[in-house]
Each structure stands twice: as C-alpha cells, then as structure tokens.
Structure 1
Amino acid sequence: MTRMWARGATLLMALAAGAVAWTAPASAAMPDKFAFVLWNGSATVPTGTTPSATTVVTGPPGRYRITFPGAAAARGVVHTTAINTVPHWCQANSWGPVGSDEVVYVDCYKAGGTPDFTPFTAFFESSSPPNAAISGHFGYVDAQPTGALVSQFNSAGAVNSVSPMAVGVWAVKMPGLATPGPIDGSLQATAVATTPARCKVLKWSSGASGQLVYVGCFDATGAPVNTRFTLTYQYQTSLYGAKIPPKYFGYLWYAPPLGPVSTNFNSVTGPGTNGLASAGIGLFLLKFPNLAVTPDTVQVTAAGSNSDFCTMNTPWFHFPPDTVVRDVNCFTNAGTPVDTGFLVSVNSQF
C-alpha cells in the first residue's frame, strides 16, 4: 500500500510539474471539466459529490486520494475545505489526469501541523479557450512560489499574472475582468504543498482594469511561507465559470462585518440576499435562499491580514428551498475560536 501511494504521488507531482504532456481537446470550452466530492470521514456523500462514482481512498495519516472518473483535463485548479468541530485545515498535494480520470491528492492537518484524517470537501476545475459566453467574470491561477504559472484562465481572454511581494505574499492580477468596484465578487485560495501550509485572501480590489488580489500563505507555526497555491475568482457566475449549468450558485464575504452588496450574490434571488448570523465566537450560520439543488459543493477561504483560518464544523445541509451552512468556524493559528473574515461559495452541478 505504501509503495502504491508513493508511485501515485510521484506520478502526479510529475504531471503537475509538466513532465508529462497533456493536450486539451481542440474544441474544449469553459469549463472543460469540473468535479467535486464531500467526504464524511468514512464515505462519499451523494448530495455533495459528482461524478457519483467518485472514490476516496485513505493513505498515510491525513492523506486522501480522490478519483474523479471521466474528469481528466489539462492542469486546472483544486480547492478543498476541512469539515470538523476541532480545528483542522486541508490543502492540495498534487493532481493530474490518469487515463480518463482526474486523480487528486489532498492532505489534512489539525492545528499545529500534525497530519490527521478529517471529513472534507474538495473540487477540481479546468478551463481552456475558446471562452464560453458567461454573464459574469471568472478566472484562476495555479502559481509556483516564484510567481511562475503552472496554469491560468481568464474568461475575458486576458493573461493573468502573479508577482511575489514578500515571503508568503503575492499580488495576483486578472486583467479584463472588469467590475464596478471597489470590491466585487468572491475568491477561493488553497495551498499546494507536501508540507503543512494554508493560504488566504489578504485583500483585493476591483475596477475597470480587472481584479487585483493579494494572497498570503502560512506554515503550521503561523509564519509566512513561500508555497505553490491556487486562486479562483468568480463574479456573478459559478466557481466553475459556467453559465448554464450550473445556474444555482451564491457567494458571500464576511469582512467583518458583511462586505458590500457586490460581494453577496445569489443566482436566484439576486445581490445582497444571502444571510449570515453569529452562532458564537468563531461560528457563523449562513443561509443561501433557493439554492437547495444537489449535488452541490461549498468552499470556505479565510480573508484578512493575519494567520487565522476558517473551515466548516459540519457539512452544509438543505432545508428546501434553501442551502444552510451550519457553521463556518474560524480559528487562530493555535486553534482558538476567533471572529475573522472569510469567503464562502456555494455551487450546484445544475
């Protein structure tokens, strides 16, 4: 079993580094593929998983191998969120196509950096030109610590860029994704590493020239760290960049307090209609009206200038017609509950 895991991880690291060529279909449209999974600690959950035949296999402590059948695509991005009442986080380890399948490795840790098994949600998405017409804006980067791009996409057809600013800090520019400003849409950020690391959105600005996002990453001690990371931007479109499907999606930024209406969007009920209530220190109950269409996925990313992190303490649930996240839970690096900023994105397959 150990040798099998080692061979699989080596293959995917080679794929991620570009050692194995992969050519996107010439007719590929946005998105080429997307897939997601909800793992409850012992099994996949159908309401949070697509394709339905997706499998999760545990390996060394805290490591999971996810196989998304038929979802193989060029490069793309992975995001993942731990689900636990005890402070944990999850990060991407590596991913790549294996035959017709997309295989993703996810690593999870408890506060302090000890590898540990935990329920989680994860998703994969890959896009390439020609760009499909969408009502909003969408873009992503998969960046090395140097700022070199492993993969990128921009629905306006522009080229994204990543510039290192300091240890553990990068400026990500997504030109052409013009919005009214000063801050619009939503973001998800995930560390990509074989050692403990997590990433968050430090701040961002929006305007006629596009999006400027500052990403910060931290190690298990809470110190800034240089690491590979993924970042996805959405504005009035799904986290997969598709229009129809999926047409059921929503996002919200807790600044704190709530961000501007332009960072709170629901594809059914419109701007400013998703709700948030405090459920205790570091606990937040969120309601997304009319989005209870499954299968769906929820992703959470912390936002702010420190090393605090946010996840979910239980899986989201559906109280038709609404989707309810009970709760987002946030912690200091030491694992103490804390009220801090975060971004939440809810997205259905349909």
Structure 2
Amino acid sequence: MRAGRWRAVLRAGMAGLVVGAVLAPPAAAVGDPLPNLGVVATVWANQPTTAEYVVNNGYSWSSTEGDIVVRRTGTGAYTVELQHAATSTGVAHVVAYGGGPVHCTVANWYRSLLGGNHLLIQVRCFAATGAPVDSRFVATFTNRQQIHQGRLAWFTTDQAAPTGVHTIPASLRYDSTGGEIRYERLGTGHYKFYVNRHPEGEREHPYFPMTHVTALGSSAVNCQISWPDSWHVRCTNAAGNPVDARFAVTYGVRIDLLGHAAGPRFASGTLYGEDSRDGRIFGDAYNSTLGTYGGGWGVLLGTGRYEMTFEGTGAMFGTAFVNAHLPHFDHLPSRGHCVLASWGRSGADTVVRVNCYAWLGVPANLNARISYTTWPAS
C-alpha cells in the first residue's frame, strides 16, 4: 500500500473483526552509501497460496512511496517486498495469522541488488509437526531511531551460540539510551540479553514494558521472551525441545512495535493464561490513549483462546501482534506458541483475539503478550 493512501478493502467475513539455507546476518553492505531512510511497514499477507500479489487491504501500510508485494516461493515460503525501502538496518518480526497451530519465522531480510532499491523479507511458516505449511501471516519492519518519549531498543543476534557475553554489532542494534546491547547463551536455546536501564525520566511514569521476539532462520523454531524486564529468551523446535537459534527482539516503554512514541494510538499488554481460573484471565497493559498503565483487559473464551480489548484505540487501520511468553519463573521452559486469530474495531475500542497451543498443536492456556497500533495519522 502506498504511503498516505488508505484503502480499506473490507472483505466478506471481516466486518467488525478481521477474519482471520543458513540465515546470513542482516547487515549493511560494505561501502553502503545509502542512509537510514526511516522505513516503517506492517503487512497482513492474506493470500497464502497465491504466487504473487500486491497487498491491497486496510491492514497493511508502508512509510515509503511503494507497493508491498508478496511472493510465494514454495510451500510455506514467502518473500515480502517493500518497494523503495532501501535500507540494510532494522528489525523484522512475523506471526502466523488465522487461528490454527502454525508458527512462522523470519529467514532473512536484505536490500534487493537487482530491480530497484527494495527491501526483501523472507518468511517461513510451519505446521505443528514442523513441516512447512502455507499460512497467512502478519509481518512488521522498522528501523526507527528517533522517539519523542519513552524508550526504544531493537536488535537481531548474529550468533546462535556465542561464547561468553557477546556485544551485538552496531549495524544490528539500536537503543535510544545510546548503550550497547549484549547477550549470552546460558544453555541450549536459553539466552539472556543486557540493555541499559530506562532513563531516569521514564522511571517517573507508570508503564508496562512492550517486548516481542521472532526466531530467525529457515527451520521450525519458536523463540519466546520472559517477563519484560528479566530479558531471558528461550528457543525450541516444533516438539518443544531446546535448540540454539538466532532471534530478533523489540523492547521498550511507551512505544509501539514499529517504534512510534507519538502519532498513532497504541497499546500493549500480557494475559496470564497460566494463572487463568474460574473462567477468568488476568493481565497488565499500557495504553497510549490514557498515557498510563492499564487500559486493556482480557476474556477467556476457551482453552488457549483469549480476547483482549484495548480501550479507546479503535480505528479503521491498524495492526495486531502476539507472542507467547515464558512462565513467570525464568528456569521454566517454554510451553507452546500463540497465533493471531483476528483483530478489529469495536466502537471506540480495539478487540484482538489470539489462540495459544502447546507443542504439537494442543490448545493450552499460555501467557500471551499482545500489541496493537494504528497508523501514524490515526
């Protein structure tokens, strides 16, 4: 979708709620003359078996003057082309959409070498067995390095099994506090990353941190992050066994997944499925429309099926995202993964529905971190 052109194509069944090789480190090319162009994009890829199509729905947007094109290159294999998004630095995320037990990874992203200065993001999707499967998905990309408030950090790891505490190369990270970002491997598939503390001014504000993680690679791996400020990440294969992997993280307070601190309406929160009881589920949230902690609440619809409402964020255009997150105690392993089932406007609010599964596809009550953001003009 071209920037500034809002085309709301609400398809049948979407009224109210949307129906739902070894990875090379993404790094700047030697002698790369192009500056950081401030690329921000989000894609709802909704035609999983189409060979190639221009994304033309009200749930996709790019800050550049160019179309978004999705190409299917094999079963469960897709390339998202962000036209005129010539950049080598940033962070990409992806999540499966549609409600079934599918999870997706980012295999790679890079600037196209032929046919124009575009950004190409490779996505892979897998069934509960780990076999490739065609799927709808939501992908995001940002390389924003300026915010008006809050704190923003993003990074991609460059090694699956670093030795000791490893500093991430400058081309693969950003932190608005100006600090380095480091990480270490604590065990097979178990990592901890280190970032600066929040600025003093941010500690005066009530907030709930926003964090999301995506596994990087072409195999069926899922990574999850822990309680926001303990910074543990665990990665597993489709059966739930720990595996070493690279991953991408976006982390911050009073910002959205795309790095906006002002302009759009946004919210992020966690529903604690592991503590659900008596048909109820509890959670925490931060909501930009309130500028404070809260403004989001959840409903337990069934085993592993949640609905989260973000107060006052309702808009015609927007994007939702979800990860399962680890149990409250960092020594406990990940239990499964979550997918987007739907999202949409409900009066003045936004309703996001997610489904969570234990490994191999059995519905399970997991902790789920959910985010939503409108477009800058909304």
Deviations 1:114-162 (A, max 9, x none): 100111100011134xxx3422111011002125625111011111111
**CA-atom RMSD in angstroms:** 2.5
Instruction: Give the counterpart letter for 1:35 in structure 2.
Output: A
What is the alpha-carbon distance in structure 1 between the residues aligned to residue 209 and residue 357 of structure 2? Answer: 24
Which of residues 268, 285, 289 in structure 2 aligns to 1:251? Answer: 268
Name the SS of the counterpart of 2:351 in structure 1: strand
Note the C-alpha offset of 1:223. Answer: 0.8
Q: Matched residues, percent identical? A: 23
Question: What is the SS of the residue equivalent to 1:59?
Answer: strand
Q: TM-score, normalised by structure 1?
A: 0.84
CA drift of 1:318 comes to 1.8
Query: How far, CA to CA, are the matches of 1:100 and 1:197 in structure 2?
Result: 30
Corresponding residue number in structure 1 for 2:252: 234
Superposition deviation, residue 45 in structure 1: 5.3
Cα pair distance change 1:163/1:23, threshold 3 Å: farther
Match of 1:141 among 138, 155, 173: 155
**TM alignment of 1:205-216, pairs within 5 A:** 205=229, 212-216=230-234
| Structure 2 counterparts to residues 160-179 of structure 1, below 5 A | 160-178=181-199
19 and 176 in structure 1: CA distance in 2 versus 1, 3 angstrom threshold: same
Matches within 5 A, 1:211-290: 212-245=230-263, 247-256=264-273, 257=275, 261=284, 264-270=285-291, 271-290=293-312
Q: Which one is further off, 301-310 or 179-188?
A: 179-188
Separation in 1, partners of 2:119, 2:59 = 17
The alpha carbon displacement at 1:195 in A equals 1.3
Counterpart contact for 1:191–1:230, Cα < 8 Å: yes
Distance 1:204 1:275, change over 3 A: closer
**Which of residues 48, 62, 87 is equivalent to 2:59?**
48
Deviations 1:93-114 (A, max 9, x none): 0001124211100000010101
- Describe how 1:283-322 pairs up with structure 2 within 5 A: 283-304=305-326, 305-313=333-341, 315-322=342-349
SS at match of 2:74: coil
Aligned match for 1:22, one of 32, 41, 45: 32
Cα shift at 1:297 = 1.6
CA contact (8 A) 2:110 2:119 kept: yes
1:187 match: 211
**Preserved contact between residue 208 and residue 286 of structure 2 (Cα < 8 Å):** no
CA-to-partner distance for each residue in 1:148-183, whole Å, 9 max, x for gaps?
625111011111111111110111111042454999
Shift of 1:15: 6.8
2:346 paired with 1:323? no
Query: Quick one: which amino acid aligns to residue 65 of structure 1?
Result: T
Contact 2:287 2:310 in 1 (8 A): yes
Determine which structure has the larger strand proportion and give its number: 1
Other-structure match for 2:100: 86
Q: Give the distance between the partners of 1:123 and 1:96, measured in 2 at CA.
A: 14
Residue 72 and residue 259 in structure 1: after superposition, are their counterparts in 2 closer, same or farther (change >3 A)? farther
Q: Which residue of 2 aligns with 1:64?
A: 78
How many matched pairs?
322
Task: Output the CA distance in 1 between the equivalents of 2:290 and 2:111.
Answer: 37
Query: For the residues of structure 1 that align with 2:359 and 2:33, how far apart are their CA atoms?
Result: 40
Q: Distance in 2 between matches of 1:235 and 1:34?
A: 18
**Contact conserved, 1:15 with 1:21, CA < 8 A, in 2?**
no
The aligned runs of 1:81-120 (5 Å cut-off) are: 81-98=95-112, 99-120=116-137
Deviation, 1:21, is 5.0
Runs of 4+ in 1 over 6 A off after TM superposition: none
CA distance in structure 1 between the aligned counterparts of 2:149 and 2:195, rounded to whole angstroms = 17
Q: Which is further off, 180-189 or 164-173?
A: 180-189
- Is the contact between residue 158 and residue 176 of structure 1 (CA under 8 Å) also seen in structure 2? no
Deviations 1:38-95 (A, max 9, x none): 0123563522111372111111110111011122223211111101232000110000
Aligned to 2:374: 348
Q: Which moved more, 1:33-42 or 1:166-175?
A: 33-42
CA distance in 2, matches of 1:286, 1:259: 10
Q: Identify the match of residue 122 of structure 1 among 139, 144, 153.
A: 139
